Amino acid sequence: MGYAELSFETVAARVGVAKTTVYRRHPTKRALVQTAIQTFIDSLAGEIPDTGSLRGDLVALGRQAVRISTSVLGQCLFRLGVECRDPDLVEMSNDFEAKKAARDEIVATRAVARDEISVPAEIRRVIGVLVGTIVFKTVFKRQSVDEVEIGKIVDLLLNGAAKPALPTGRPRR
């Protein structure tokens, strides 16, 4: 059953309550689905990481991304986001992205306060690449991503892959 086929009657019957009980808490189908998805995401994501270091926070965010993206519902949500054109679902996706951006902003603000970074926008970009890499590997490539792999991805994002440039002014011999 897809979003279009979902009905209050089906939900009420599935949870064993009257249809009016469902309507009272969720006046629209969109509100019902959005609450269900947000509850799921919150249960897997947990608190915004505050490990005391940017690297630790990024690894913790990576673990959260793995938990969500390797769950059955998480994989369905990611695929739905790629394939769906329903205006309600697109708007819900935008709402979830805004909430995620607010969480990422907190991580970036903490890193600035610890003097680990100077430009919060760069950390938001790093988080996007980290989560995107994990989702690509787990959802689309069906690969496992463990703690070691998360650490390698984080280190690559924070340190880069290129060798440090030689100091200028003195030629190499």
Given pLDDT bands bounded at 50, 70 and 90, which one contains residue 173? low
Q: Tokens 């994989």: give the residue.
A: 75
Average pLDDT estimate for 27-38: 87
Give residue 57's pLDDT. Answer: 97
> Total structural domains in the chain?
1
Indicate whether 108 belongs to any domain.
yes
Buried b (16+ CB within 10 A) or exposed e, 118-157: eebeebeebbeebbebbbebbbeeeeebeeebbeebbeeb
Query: What is the reported pLDDT for 169?
Result: 64
The answer to whether residue 86 is domain-embedded is yes
Amino acid 158: pLDDT: 93
| Domain assignment present for 136 | yes
Inside any domain, residue 54: yes
Q: How many angstroms separate the most distant Cα atoms in the chain?
A: 82
Q: Quick count: other Cβ atoms within 10 Å of Cβ 93?
A: 16
Residue 134's CATH number:
1.10.357.10
| Domain that residue 56 falls in | 49-158
Q: Is the model's pTM score more than 0.75? A: yes
> Is residue 65 pLDDT above 80, yes or no?
yes
pLDDT at 166 exceeding the cut of 90: no
pLDDT in tens, 109-153: 999 999 998 888 888 899 999 999 999 999 889 999 999 999 999
39 part of a folded domain: no
